[in-house]
Amino acid sequence: MEREIITTKVGIVGGGPAGLMLSHLLSREGVDNVVIDNREHDVIANTHRAGILEAGSVRMLTDTGVDGRILDEGYEHSGIYLRFNGENHHIDFKKLVGQTVWLYAQNEVFVDLAAARRRDGGDVRFGVTDAEVLDHDTDTPKINFTDADGVAKQIQCEVVVGSDGSRSRTRDLIPGRVKHTMRYPFAWFGILCNAPFSSDELIYCHSDKGFALISQRSETVQRMYFQCSPDENVEDWSDERIWDHLDDIVTGPDGYQLKRGEIFDKVVLQFRSFVQEPMQHGNLFLAGDAAHTVPPTGAKGLNLAFGDVALLAPALVKWAKTGAREDLDTYGERAAKRIWKSQNFSYWMTQMLHTPAEDNPFLLKRQLGELEAVTSSEDSMKYLAESYTGWPYDLPELMEA
Ligand SMILES: Cc1cc2nc3c(=O)[nH]c(=O)nc-3n(C[C@H](O)[C@H](O)[C@H](O)COP(=O)(O)OP(=O)(O)OC[C@H]3O[C@@H](n4cnc5c(N)ncnc54)[C@H](O)[C@@H]3O)c2cc1C
């Protein structure tokens, strides 16, 4: 089949946070790249996902000239509450480690990144089909795809980045890969509702009726989750049943009450812990969820995608400008340190807060002992605060204004 040829330096499969941030940073340094994504722009812009950004992720958006909208429309949080035995325990990030996080929805991050690519003349093609990576173990990799108008095209490049998310197909191209997977016997039931804030900061709530996260979106829209079975049926949950169940989870001697409102979105969110190693083969590199996913309890998914890019972008720039491949070829090893720290933190938070599947009171009591130990020790709270707000990036040159 005759294909229209597009020539570039780096071909990027997947225009989520990882792919678009990488594209933005490369373009800033004059490294030509093309991004393809099989979803339409407006579909991604309306898909609700993560909501908490580490301070380093915020700086990647503001200090590299993506957009400063987050500073006007996001909400800075200086901590979270751990709630157990029906009482709140504040983990004050600012006091403990001098850092904060920002509430700013992933779809807004996407809108800002896509707009920045348009503004800067970036080549991002949404709504493509049949993406296929070829010859990634040679110096002339290619990506075949059909564009949104049905025209068959081929990207001829020197490096391919697979940032195609948790159902990645590019990761299947890495021979000898090892897939480290941990499954959990529960999922999250997520709602979006029209209601005012139920709390000034997020509440992570442990109870014998399951875990709940009282999260937020804006002054008028709230996001909340409760622990459910992985095969839970959304249809079985009326609005009233959801609110009553959430109230049962958060109830306590302090009289805390959720502010109810009309629920306009209900979803069962499956999750797992997953890492694929290695993250590279020849001239194919993985970034973001394509290489790893975490349970959402630690709010790490999107941040970890940016963490990969903070290492991969400078390595690609150095290679493009000087031909030196060392940073590129050690990218996976270097990224693994942050990935496994994040895996550990997300796993720890998940195990500490979710009601165990096994009906054994010892396990619940042990969790309460752990929560008591964490909230009564400044050192333990510091570990939580440092992990939640994120470890610093050590290659900041691309982030200089
Ligand atoms: C429902 C849901 C809720 C979540 N909630 C949270 C949360 O609360 N906190 C948190 O930290 N994390 C959360 N996450 C995880 C977080 O959203 C991800 O970690 C983050 O999106 C990773 O970014 P990414 O760019 O690596 O992947 P993605 O955002 O998944 O981007 C990958 C892109 O690749 C495209 N793509 C896929 N296959 C192809 C193909 N064959 N050809 C072309 N394009 C392709 C997709 O359309 C997509 O746009 C959630 C995830 C989901 C699914």
User: 179-191: per-residue pLDDT in tens?
Assistant: 999 999 999 999 9
Taking residues 262-275, what's their average pLDDT? 97
pLDDT at position 152 = 98
**Which two tokens mark 87?**
């009482």
User: Is 370 among the domain residues?
Assistant: yes
As a whole-number percent, the residues of the chain with pLDDT over 90 amount to: 95
Band (397; pLDDT cuts 50, 70, 90): low
Q: Are residues 123 and 232 in the same domain?
A: no
Q: Which domain covers residue 375, as residue numbers?
A: 79-99+185-270+355-391
Average pLDDT along the chain: 96
Dist CA 163 CA 47 (whole Å)? 17
Structural domain contains residue 398? no
Q: Can you give the CATH number for the domain in which 47 is found?
A: 3.50.50.60
- What pLDDT sits at residue 399? 47
41 and 127 in a single domain? The answer is: yes
- Summarize the confidence of residues 51-78 as an average pLDDT: 94
Atom 3 of ligand 1, nearest CA residue: 49
Residues 282 and 240 in one domain: no
Q: Is the CB of 296 under 6 A from ligand 1?
A: yes
CA dist 59 and 55 (Å) reads 6
Which stretches of 54-196 are DSSP H helices? Answer: 55-62, 69-73, 93-97, 106-119
Can you give the pLDDT at residue 393? 79
Number of domains the chain is built from:
2
Q: Establish if 62 belongs to a structural domain.
A: no
Confidence of residue 1 (pLDDT cuts 50, 70, 90): confident
Same domain, 39 and 122: yes
For ligand 1, say whether the CB of 191 is within 6 Å of any of its atoms.
Answer: no
296 catalytic per annotation: yes
Same domain, 327 and 376: no
What pLDDT digit, counting tens, does each position of 205-239 carry?
Answer: 999 999 999 999 999 999 999 999 999 999 999 99
Whether 202 and 264 map to the same domain: the answer is: yes
Taking the centre of ligand 1 as the mean of its atom positions, its distance from the CA of residue 167, in whole angstroms, is: 9
User: Quick one: 281 and 175 in the same domain?
Assistant: yes
| 3 state DSSP class of 247 | helix
Condensed to tens digits (0 to 9), the pLDDT of residues 364-396 reads: 999 999 999 999 999 999 999 999 999 987 655
The answer on pLDDT for 345 being more than 90 is: yes
Same domain, 192 and 340: no
Q: What is the pLDDT of residues 76-135, one digit of tens each?
A: 999 999 999 999 999 999 999 999 999 999 999 999 999 999 999 999 999 999 999 999
Which two structure tokens, joined as six digits, stand for 123?
């080549």
Give φ, ψ of 239 to 5 degrees: -60, -45
pLDDT at 398 over 70: no
Judge contact between 90 and 379, C-beta under 8 A: no
Atom of ligand 1 nearest to the CA of 289: 26
The answer to whether the CB of 107 falls within 8 A of the CB of 49 is yes
204 is catalytic: yes
pLDDT tens column, 127-167: 999 999 999 999 999 999 999 999 999 999 999 999 999 99
CA of 252 to the centre of ligand 1 (A): 36
Please pick, among 184, 204, 331, 393, the residue that the annotation labels catalytic: 204
Q: In CATH, what number is assigned to the domain containing residue 383?
A: 3.30.9.10
Report the percentage of the chain scoring pLDDT > 70.
98
Calculate mean pLDDT across residues 248-276: 96
288 lines ligand 1 (CB under 6 A): yes
